[in-house]
Amino acid sequence: MKILFIGDVSGQVGRKMLQEHLPVLREKLSLDVVIVDGDNCANGYGITEKICKEFYALGVDCITTGDHVWNQREILSYITRDPSLLRAANFPDKTPGQGACLKTLPDGRKILILHLMGRVFMPEALECPFIVADKILSTYQLGTNVAAIFVDIHAEATSEKMAMAHYLDGRVSAVVGTHTHIPTADSHILPEGTAFQSDAGMTGCYDSIIGMDKETPLLRFTKKIPGKQRMFPAKGEGTLCGTYVQTDDKTGKTLKIEPIVIGAYLKNTLIESL
Over residues 12-47, the pLDDT tens digits come to 999 999 999 999 999 999 999 999 999 999 999 999
Residues 6+ apart with CB under 8 A from 52: 38, 63, 78, 82, 84, 85
Element spanning 2, H or E? strand 2-6
Tell me which of 169 and 269 has the higher pLDDT: 169
The pLDDT score that the predictor gives to residue 273 is 55
Q: What average pLDDT score do residues 173-199 get?
A: 98
Helix axes 158-168, 129-137, angle to 10 degrees: 30
25 Rama sector, left if φ>0, alpha if ψ -120 to 50, beta otherwise = alpha
Whether pLDDT at 68 is above 90: yes
Task: Tell me, yes or no, if 115 is annotated catalytic.
Answer: no
pLDDT digits (tens, 9 = 90+) for 73-128: 999 999 999 999 999 999 999 999 999 999 999 999 999 999 999 999 998 789 99
Domain that holds residue 188: 2-273
CATH number at residue 227: 3.60.21.10
Whether pLDDT at 274 is above 60: no
Residues 6+ apart with CB under 8 A from 186: 196, 197, 198
The pLDDT score that the predictor gives to residue 272 is 60
| pLDDT level of residue 270 (50, 70, 90 thresholds) | low
Whether pLDDT at 224 is above 90: no
* % residues pLDDT > 90 (the chain): 90
Separation CA 193–CA 151 (nearest Å): 14
The pLDDT score that the predictor gives to residue 192 is 98
The pLDDT score that the predictor gives to residue 229 is 74
The pLDDT score that the predictor gives to residue 82 is 98
Element spanning 114, H or E? strand 110-117
> What is the number of residues in the chain?
274
The pLDDT score that the predictor gives to residue 54 is 98
Contact 59, 39 (CB under 8 A): no
Whether pLDDT at 65 is above 60: yes
Rounded alpha-carbon distances, angstroms, from residue 143 to 27, 149, 174, 248, 258: 26, 10, 14, 9, 22
Contact 88, 132 (CB under 8 A): no
User: Of the listed 68, 115, 179, 181, which one is catalytic?
Assistant: 68
Tell me which of 217 and 55 has the higher pLDDT: 55
* % residues pLDDT > 70 (the chain): 97
pLDDT digits (tens, 9 = 90+) for 137-181: 999 999 999 999 999 999 999 999 999 999 999 999 999 999 999
DSSP-derived pairing of the beta strands 148-154 and 174-178: parallel
Contact 138, 177 (CB under 8 A): no
Q: 3-class DSSP state for residue 51? A: helix
Domain total in the chain: 1
